[in-house]
Structure 1
Amino acid sequence: ILENRGAVMGCSNPHPHCQIWSTAYLPTEAAKKDSNQLAYAARNGNRPMLVDYVQQELRRDERIVFQNEHWVCVVPFWAVWPFETMLLPRRHVLRLTDLNDGEVSGLAEALKCLLTKYDNLFECSFPYSMGFHGAPTGSRLSGESGHWQLHAVFYPPLLRSATVKKFMVGYEMLAEAQRDLTPESAAARLRELPGDRHYAGDLS
């Protein structure tokens, strides 16, 4: 499940919408996540990597943007985009269909809060690409998936203002990505913004 928001992200439809993609194979990004999570679980008593990771972030309390009873939003330490975030459930959850009613309500609250903070950052309709990754289904549904943890990722391109975006060019294309600000400072800026009041007023 993915969503692109804003013309700068190539979004051709101005209204909010998302896409659901399904393939008969595990795409590259999901395959990397699968192998890394599986390797971590094998080395750590079958504990899911992202379950351990969210506990580590909660203990450190440096990169958390928002949290409620069921969800934690962080700027991950490996973030490449300036205000990249990851949204994780507190308990071990494989797929969206495994969420209980409280987690569904908590997810709605978390999404509303995060997207409001994004818009408030530069007082604009904040562009991003986002998506959910969960345990594979289809032919892999009957296989071992306990190493997986459901999570959402947000990749927004804006850097310093509503009109200045980060470009992946030069060294970043030929060598490796570079950060323009630390994950901790990005998290602090987002955390300080209101998540319950939109800069444009009541949008309901």
Structure 2
Amino acid sequence: MHRTATTLADGRELVYFDREPGAARDLVDRRPLEPAASLSETRLDPVLGEWVTVAAHRQQRTYHPPAGECPLCPSRDGRLSEIPAADYEVAVFENRFPSLATGAADHVAARDEPLHTLRPGDGRCEVVCFTSDHDASFADLDEPGARLVLDAWTDRTAALSALPGVRQVYCFENRGTEIGVTLAHPHGQIYAFPFVPSRTTRMIARAEAHRARTGRNLFEDLLAVERESPERLVLRGEHWTAFVPFAARWPYEVHLYPHRRVPDLTALDEAERAEFPGLYLDLLRRFDALFPAEPGAAPNRTPYISAWHQAPKEGGAELALHLELFTIRRAPGKLKYLAGVESGLDAFVTDVSPESAAERLRGAASA
């Protein structure tokens, strides 16, 4: 993997990732951009003890532009985009409309009042462009292309974890307008949080309780049990296993674990990195095969969220790196909405049993 870093016209960082050195990458952003001020702030919910990010400036972000005006496509034919080069393999840059940004403290003052705790939204949000092909999807990448994205995720995890004040790095992809994606170009995001999100905090607490009770690691025990439960297994390689969790929240949800417990992407070894692309692409293509397109229609692309759970910089010794992939589609033309009990109480009700979801995913490879 070869990386080339540059700076955009408004001071944001851009990094090109290539399989081999020597690719022509334009490093000059010719757009007349002024630096954007981040007004992000984080507020502590006194009832739940959870941080909420307030980023009202994001209302101005680009929303469903025509394909010819996509800001994630390369700069070609006189049209300038976020990517100055005329082509690229993988490109990562700071979001122009970030939820969290370095320098927020220059514009937002901290507040410590009874029941009103507020901090500047210091952190960083990056956009990861998986390919220059606007009409592609992650599942359309070949294995070397998927490996390059993994290398980019790893590079950015290391770089962002080193920033002052960052406590956790979260790599994820939203795909599909049903999920809320506003740019059709195949891309993901990385958030560098100044706090440990509540989902991670709960996982750590459960793992620590399991350690105190059994003397063992929760995630190692969970993986061992699921690897022996064929009714929920989807894929199994030499170094990774994908399974539908016993208490899956979503209609079709798969967790992908390396067999060796590691805290984050930077700790994977070469054998684990080499096997991941093939297994992950297989999973994504199985998701697309769940709901076949009508004859003569465009190929189906199942909406999904793909998320890497990584240990925070401190206090996450019991956490294990794993990827969570799920779709909100429960049947052809039907979505799983988070209504009263899910949104109001965080009490999920699923419409598909985990065992039948795993069976469908195992059979989806031949669809």
TM-score (normalizing by structure 2) = 0.50
Whole-Å Cα distance in 2 between the matches of residues 192 and 155 of structure 1? 17
Distance apart, 1:170 and its partner CA: 3.1
Question: Is contact 1:48–1:149 with CA below 8 Å preserved after alignment?
Answer: no
Taking the TM superposition and a 5 Å limit, the aligned residue runs for 1:57-76 are: 57-76=226-245
Are positions 1:121 and 2:290 aligned together? yes
- 2:172 alignment partner in structure 1: 2
Q: Which of 13, 28, 34 is the equivalent residue of 2:183?
A: 13
Look up the SS of the partner of 2:193 in the other structure.
coil
Distance apart, 1:135 and its partner CA: 1.3
Cα deviation digits, residues 71-124 of structure 1 (max 9, x gap) = 111110111110011111111111110001110122111210100000111121
Q: How many pairs align?
A: 189
Question: Is contact 1:87–1:152 with CA below 8 Å preserved after alignment?
Answer: yes
Distance apart, 1:136 and its partner CA: 0.9
Are positions 1:170 and 2:333 aligned together? no
Distance apart, 1:157 and its partner CA: 0.4
Look up the SS of the partner of 1:19 in the other structure.
strand
- 2:144 alignment partner in structure 1: none
- 2:251 alignment partner in structure 1: 82
Distance apart, 1:171 and its partner CA: 3.8
Are positions 1:192 and 2:363 aligned together? yes
Are positions 1:27 and 2:197 aligned together? yes
Aligned letter for 1:170?
Answer: G
Q: Which of 195, 213, 218 is the equivalent residue of 1:43?
A: 213
Whole-Å Cα distance in 2 between the matches of residues 50 and 9 of structure 1? 28
Whole-Å Cα distance in 2 between the matches of residues 29 and 172 of structure 1? 15
Structure 1: gaps spanning 5 or more residues: 200-204
Whole-Å Cα distance in 1 between the matches of residues 266 and 188 of structure 2? 17
Cα deviation digits, residues 34-54 of structure 1 (max 9, x gap) = 111122122221x22111111
Bigger mean CA deviation after superposition, 165-174 or 150-159: 165-174
Look up the SS of the partner of 1:9 in the other structure.
coil
Distance apart, 1:174 and its partner CA: 4.2
Larger Rg: 2
Bigger mean CA deviation after superposition, 83-92 or 169-178: 169-178
Question: Is contact 1:63–1:75 with CA below 8 Å preserved after alignment?
Answer: yes
Runs of 4+ in 1 over 4 A off after TM superposition: none
Question: Is contact 1:3–1:19 with CA below 8 Å preserved after alignment?
Answer: yes
Q: Which has the higher helix share?
A: 1
Instruction: State the identity as a percent.
Output: 34
- 2:98 alignment partner in structure 1: none
Distance apart, 1:160 and its partner CA: 0.9
Whole-Å Cα distance in 2 between the matches of residues 18 and 38 of structure 1? 31
Distance apart, 1:165 and its partner CA: 0.8
Look up the SS of the partner of 2:319 in the other structure.
coil
Whole-Å Cα distance in 1 between the matches of residues 286 and 352 of structure 2? 18
- 2:152 alignment partner in structure 1: none
Cα deviation digits, residues 8-56 of structure 1 (max 9, x gap) = 00111112111111112101111111111122122221x2211111110
Whole-Å Cα distance in 2 between the matches of residues 110 and 14 of structure 1? 24
Whole-Å Cα distance in 1 between the matches of residues 192 and 185 of structure 2? 23
Whole-Å Cα distance in 2 between the matches of residues 136 and 38 of structure 1? 14
Question: Is contact 1:48–1:146 with CA below 8 Å preserved after alignment?
Answer: no
Taking the TM superposition and a 5 Å limit, the aligned residue runs for 1:127-146 are: 127-137=303-313, 140=314, 145-146=316-317
Aligned letter for 1:27?
Answer: P
RMSD: 1.5
Distance apart, 1:146 and its partner CA: 3.3
Whole-Å Cα distance in 1 between the matches of residues 186 and 306 of structure 2? 12
Are positions 1:112 and 2:276 aligned together? no
Aligned letter for 2:186?
Answer: P
Bigger mean CA deviation after superposition, 80-89 or 165-174: 165-174
Whole-Å Cα distance in 1 between the matches of residues 235 and 273 of structure 2? 16
Are positions 1:157 and 2:333 aligned together? no
Question: Is contact 1:128–1:157 with CA below 8 Å preserved after alignment?
Answer: yes
Whole-Å Cα distance in 2 between the matches of residues 21 and 174 of structure 1? 25
Whole-Å Cα distance in 2 between the matches of residues 155 and 190 of structure 1? 12
